[in-house]
Amino acid sequence: MAATKTRTSSFSRNLPAASSAQSPEIKCGPNGTFFVSSGIPDLDKTLGGGIPLGSLVMVMEDSEAPHHMLLLRNFMSQGLVHKQPLLYASPSKDPRGFLGTLPSPSSPKDDKSRSHDAEQEKGLRIAWQYKKYFDNKQDFSNEFDLRRPLDRHFYTTQHVDCISTHDLPNLAPLQERCTSFLSHFPRSDSNIVCTGRIAIQSLCAPQCENSSMEWEMLSFIRALKSTVRSANAVAIITFPSSLVSPSFCKRWQHLADCLVSVKAIPDEDKELAKLLTGYQDIVGFLNIHKVSRINTQVPAVLEATTLSIKLQKRRYLVLECLNQAPIDGSGGTSYGTSGSCSGSSSKSGSLNF
């Protein structure tokens, strides 16, 4: 369990006694907030520990690539692995079918293929050894193997609710389902028994009847935001930002507590290939526009707001800070913080000594 602890800010209340009594899927954060994992350890680290309970996360989709689905899948799988009830809404006619595509946590022996810095590697080795003896020991956040589907028992035996937004004439049924779902997780900081997750995919997708009702959408999001804030839950909404009018897109952005956008990377872009190391492995970019600021007015200034989305071995979702390729003729090392040391093998060989 110690392997996944990240450094918190000096203002956080680190109460080891209390946190050990809590379940592992919740971590104490600063200013009396609690974090749950997004399902992507790199994203948790960048956001300062995870997603604060009570947050509304919005993901601006790129209409050219389904990268938001990677975020959504990991988020949902993480919740199911931690036995957190899930409400999933999607514009497809059979949202339950999507659950079969959720990834499974990767087994410990696969983890060794990821290169970490030495300290974390030692930590992983210890954790792996302990895993032999503690079957039910859970981490705060898991690595997910996108090529292995989640075991069916994770979503057939527990509280997973699905709703299709395709044929809804308006958003009232969805709002009712969300409100009744969230009523099971009333806010109580002292003893968090259960936390819930809501995942709404492609709200305002054009194939839905209700997609042109812009003010209704805003009203729904606002109501959801305030209900989530007063519950022990986290909601994530993805939406096609290019299909919403610009002024409404801004309104949506203002309503989000945490706002990220995903962007596809053009194939065979020679300019980008020169600029970035490991360009071939990058499938897209993740931009973090806003970070949840609950119970505080201090803005979060992140070290990096643009991360590259990579699929390692086409199985593991990895987010890295961008590595600049060495400039021709400089002969120096690349700038930018490095998330993995595998980047050095693919440096464009223009070092002249």
Q: What does DSSP assign to residue 33? A: -
CA distance 146 to 138: 19
Of positions 289, 306, 333, 337, contacts another protein by CB under 8 A: 289
Of positions 156, 226, 324, 350, contacts another protein by CB under 8 A: 226
Q: Which stretch binds another protein (CB under 8 A): 62-70, 88-96, 201-209, 288-296?
A: 288-296
Shortest separation between residue 287's beta carbon and another protein, angstroms:
12
Q: Which stretch binds another protein (CB under 8 A): 118-126, 225-233, 273-281, 329-337?
A: 225-233
* Residue 297 binding another protein, by CB under 8 A: yes
Q: Residue type at 96?
A: R
* Residue 259 binding another protein, by CB under 8 A: yes
Q: Which stretch binds another protein (CB under 8 A): 191-199, 279-287, 300-308, 333-341?
A: 300-308
CA distance 293 to 326: 36
CA distances from 154 to 63, 69, 84, 85 (A): 31, 19, 10, 10
Q: What does DSSP assign to residue 160? A: E
* Residue 317 binding another protein, by CB under 8 A: no
Q: Are 171 and 217 in contact (CB under 8 A)?
A: yes
CA distance 290 to 288: 6
CA distance 129 to 108: 9
Residues with Cβ within 8 Å of residue 214, at least 6 apart in sequence: 244, 245, 248
Mask: binding to another protein, 19-48, rule CB under 8 A, as x and -? ------------xx----------------
Of positions 254, 327, 348, 351, contacts another protein by CB under 8 A: 254
Shortest separation between residue 240's beta carbon and another protein, angstroms:
17
Shortest separation between residue 245's beta carbon and another protein, angstroms:
8
Going through the chain in order, the beta strands assigned E by DSSP cover 27-28, 34-36, 51-52, 56-60, 86-90, 103-105, 144-149, 160-164, 196-200, 233-239, 258-264, 282-290, 306-312, 316-321
* Residue 13 binding another protein, by CB under 8 A: no
Q: Which stretch binds another protein (CB under 8 A): 20-28, 83-91, 245-253, 334-342?
A: 245-253
Q: What does DSSP assign to residue 91? A: S
CA distance 68 to 303: 22
Shortest separation between residue 182's beta carbon and another protein, angstroms:
14
* Residue 250 binding another protein, by CB under 8 A: yes
CA distance 14 to 204: 41
Of 283 and 304, which CB lies nearer to another protein in the complex structure? 304
Burial 271-292, CB ≥16 within 10 A → b, else e = eeeeebbbbebbbbbbebebbb
Of positions 18, 126, 172, 302, contacts another protein by CB under 8 A: 302
CA distances from 173 to 34, 161, 176, 303 (A): 30, 13, 5, 41
State the number of binding residues for another protein (CB under 8 A).
33
Q: Which stretch binds another protein (CB under 8 A): 87-95, 290-298, 319-327, 331-339?
A: 290-298
Residue 122 structure tokens: 């030692």
Q: Which stretch binds another protein (CB under 8 A): 41-49, 153-161, 197-205, 217-225?
A: 217-225
Of 80 and 174, which CB lies nearer to another protein in the complex structure? 174
Of 128 and 248, which CB lies nearer to another protein in the complex structure? 248
Residues that bind another protein (CB under 8 A): 11, 31-32, 214-216, 218-219, 222, 226, 229-230, 246-251, 253-254, 259, 289-290, 293-299, 301-302, 305
